[in-house]
Amino acid sequence: MLLAVLLCAGLCTGVGAGCSERVVIDPTSPVAGWPAHGGDLGGLRYSPLTQITPANVASLQEVWTYRHGDFSDGSGDVARTSFPVTPIVANDTLYFCTGFMRVIALDPETGAERWTFDPGLRASRGEGPYPLTCRGVTYWEDPEAEDTAVCARRIFHGTRDSELIALDADTGLPCAEFGSEGRVALREGIGDDVPAWEYYPTSPPVVARDVVAIGALVADSLRVDAPAGVVRGFDARTGALRWAWDPVPPGWRSKPSQGGRRYASGTPNVWAPMSADEERGLVFVPTGNPSPDSYGGQRDGIDYYGSSTVALDAETGELVWHFQSVHHDVWDYDVGSQPTLFQIEGVGGGAPAVAQATKMGHVFLLDRETGEPLYPVEERPVPQDGVPGETLSPTQPFPTHPPPLHPTEVTSDSAWGFTPIDEADCREKILRYRSEGIFTPPSLQGSLQYPGSAGGMNWGGVSVDPVRGVLYTNQTRSAAVVQLIPREDFAALDPSSATYPNELYPMTGTPYGVKRFPLLSSFGAPCLAPPWGTLTAVDLATGQVLWESTLGTTRDQAPFPLWFELGAPNLGGSIVTAGGVVFIGATTEKTFRAFDARTGDEIWSRRLPYTANSTPISYRLRPDGRQFVVIAAGGHGWSQPGDAVVAFALPGAR
């Protein structure tokens, strides 16, 4: 009996695990890759695979791990890295990028390395507020090329050196006819005075109608004349510039070009993943807020396209429509998640649609062709009386279907603690700051922001089961304090001394600097009642929440035995499979989880070498093959950097 128990323990891990059950291969069940960042061009994050189910997921085993070694803890003069990448699987190959912008190709079933490409990153020093980050690469097949032609299949990749690179997907060699020996410079027209760390792409480009569209991160809250948030489209074959969408208001009078700047300064940037509708020739662009983030008194209307979902013509870059989820955004509630395209009978009359998740916990369901809301969106009055010089929007849009998914009220009664001591500390802090619910404007005394600027929902976005009509989303529930500091007082502070999550930004060119930090107790825990991380399922037809589960524990943040199931802050996303399983990492602990898509029960978990602040993928490449689930684990700004790509599958075929 003891021997049987030990053998069983060696085969099984996770919540509710029994002895491992070897998978029975059904050659008629679906086969699918993961050819795009969001699973498909529309970002559904849905897999049609059915081999892994709630009944057998407890038998999932680690089948291979690849360690790329391309990471840094930020010591010395080299920048810290993070590894939030979502790999793709196309061309029977798994592709991903590292923090130092290497592109790596693996055998998807064994993890064996096929090729690597090193761009020779120049901007790798430890400058700027962010770690070196690459969220993914993009695959494209040239429909006009011979199958055996060089670069008939390409990988597109944006780097911290602000280059768009095209590689042969079979060999990893640069495509010589693309730009200059496979590279296109993205800094052209951005400005000669812009340091490398202030402007560069972190999310993968998107390809539609043979045009590669790409935006870029612009560092937050540094100055009024920040680099332009322009989105550009390049010919997928030659790298020639096809169009540039400069997000300035209609009729805007651009200032004369100076210092190498061709595009307007301070416009909303596009750092998050885009999506596309190849059939309609549309690219869907999630925009950030204009610079600087927390004070808009000098924007002069340039936030017309800020914090919006924008549809552009893929071939010309012309504006088709836009929908703004925050007016005159001074909360850093930029749209950080990929627009998700779906069409489901019974949702919005069955119209082709876009689901846009936001940091506020709002999900807007929009008509894909017009941008009009599929269900009523209410303009509701919000707090006013900002700092001197500020002019706030009197109302903000609130969705009604689904209604807001994140609580917003913080009062002294909201204070929470493990003991009366830290609860009293939290109550005193809450009373110290201005708190009038969501959209409380930044103030001189300090304002409570709930959700904080990290969300709610963030770049992990949502996953959608188009068959059941259910949307899944993870959220962080933690408040922050935002305080504007008059320029003469800010001059005595040293922004370089602040480390995340305690932030200090100059907002040069305005009357204020800004200080932002999480609302934590004297014990270092969030001051509001848990759960601090959630996973939620929403019926898209009714708009109602089907279930909400706690996501994460205090493990890896608190010493043993203080590991409580209170939820955890999270960055990264979920996927859902036709087999009825939702997979997600995302939290501040080194754990990968599976949930029953129908009930929200946690049904499997596995420890990882690092936190997995990324989005998993799933694929099955052969009728006689297994379904794999793969996740990148390599930390983010809040956790230890690392380099692991980990694959799971059911035990080998019987």
The DSSP line for 577-611 is ETTSEEEE--BSSSEEEEEETTT--EEEEEE-SS-
CA distance 68 to 48: 29
Alpha helices, DSSP H only, in 453-579? 487-490
What number is the average pLDDT over the span 267-281?
97
CB 59 within 8 A of CB 24: no
Taking the C-alpha atoms of residue 512 and residue 442, their distance in angstroms, rounded to an integer, is: 11
Domain boundaries, the chain: 13-250+260-649
For 323-344, the pLDDT digits (tens) are 999 999 999 999 999 999 999 9
With left for phi above 0 and alpha for psi between -120 and 50, is residue 405 left, alpha or beta?
Answer: alpha
Average pLDDT of 496-523? 92
Lowest-pLDDT range of 102-106, 286-290, 292-296, 497-501: 497-501
Asked whether the beta carbons of 641 and 613 are under 8 A apart, the reply is: no
Sign of dihedral through CA atoms 328, 332, 333, 339? positive
pLDDT tens column, 179-190: 999 999 999 999
- pLDDT of 76 reads 86
For residues 568-590, b (16+ Cβ closer than 10 Å) or e, as one string?
Answer: bbbbbbbbbbbbbbbbbbbbbbb
Max intra-chain CA distance, the chain: 82
Report the half-sphere exposure of 641 (CA within 13 A, side-chain side). 21
Instruction: Determine the straight-line distance between the first and last CA of the chain, rounded to whole angstroms.
Output: 24
Q: Kindly state the DSSP code that residue 60 receives in the 8-state scheme.
A: -
pLDDT recorded at residue 20: 58
What SS3 class is residue 463?
Answer: strand
State the residue for tokens 């017009």: 370
**Quick check: helix, strand or coil at residue 291?**
coil
Mean pLDDT over 269-291 rounds to 97
Give me the pLDDT at residue 11, please. 37
Please give the CATH number for the structural domain made up of 13-250+260-649.
Answer: 2.140.10.10
Q: Cα–Cα distance between 493 and 571 in angstroms, integer? A: 30
| Dihedral (CA of 613, 208, 362, 320) sign | positive
> Residue type for 544, please?
Q
Q: Residue written as tokens 């599929």? A: 374
Asked if 590 contacts 608 with a C-beta cutoff of 8 angstroms, the reply is yes
The confidence band for 126, taking pLDDT boundaries of 50, 70 and 90, is: confident
Cis peptide before 204 (omega within 30 of 0): no
Q: How many CB atoms lie within 10 A of CB 62?
A: 14
Q: What are phi and psi of 628, to 5 degrees?
A: -105, 150
Peptide bond between residue 641 and the one before it cis (omega within 30 degrees of 0): no
pLDDT digits (tens, 9 = 90+) for 442-491: 999 999 999 999 999 999 999 999 999 999 999 999 999 999 999 999 99
Strand 206-208 relative to strand 217-218, pairing = unpaired
Q: What is the mean pLDDT of residues 127-149?
A: 95
For CA atoms 531, 535, 539, 542, the dihedral sign is positive
Exposed/middle/buried for residue 76 (C-beta within 10 Å: 0-12, 13-18, 19+): exposed
Classify burial at 258, counting beta carbons within 10 Å of its beta carbon; exposed 0-12, middle 13-18, buried 19 or more.
Answer: exposed
Instruction: Report residue 617's pLDDT band, with 50, 70 and 90 as the boundaries.
Output: very high
Mean pLDDT computed over 101-125 = 96
Residue 434: per-residue pLDDT: 97
The residue-averaged pLDDT of 23-31 equals 87
For residues 255 and 272, is the Cβ–Cβ distance under 8 A? no
pLDDT for residue 484: 98
Average the pLDDT over 204-217 and give the result.
98
Q: pLDDT band at 653, cuts 50/70/90?
A: low
**DSSP alpha helices (H): ranges in 347-463?**
420-432
Residue type, 466: P
* Cα distance between residue 11 and residue 64, in whole Å: 15
Asked if 217 and 200 count as a contact pair (C-beta separation under 8 A), the reply is: yes
Residues whose CB is less than 8 angstroms from the CB of residue 524 and which lie 6 or more positions away in sequence, other chains included:
none
**Residue of higher predicted confidence among 212 and 258:** 212
For residue 278, the cross-strand partners are none
The whole-angstrom distance between residue 556's C-alpha and the CA centroid of its chain comes to 22
Mean pLDDT of the chain: 94
Q: Which amino acid is at 118?
A: D
Tokens read off for 186: 């993205």
Give the whole-number percent of the chain exceeding pLDDT 70: 96
Q: Which residue has the tokens 């055998």?
A: 107
Task: Please list the active-site residues.
Answer: 332
Q: What's the DSSP call for residue 260?
A: T
CB neighbours of residue 644 within 10 Å: 20
Residue whose entry in the numeric block shows the structure tokens 């082709």: 352
Q: Which amino acid is located at 619 in the chain?
A: Y
pLDDT digits (tens, 9 = 90+) for 345-397: 999 999 999 999 999 999 999 999 999 999 999 999 999 999 999 999 999 99
Q: Is 59 helix (H, G, I), strand (E, B) or coil?
A: helix
* CA distances (Å), origin 406, targets 398, 565, 607: 12, 19, 28
* Residues pairing with 309 in the sheet: 286, 323
**Residue 67 Cα distances to 87, 93, 135, 606, 617, angstroms:** 14, 17, 17, 18, 18
439 in Cβ contact with 383 (< 8 Å) = yes
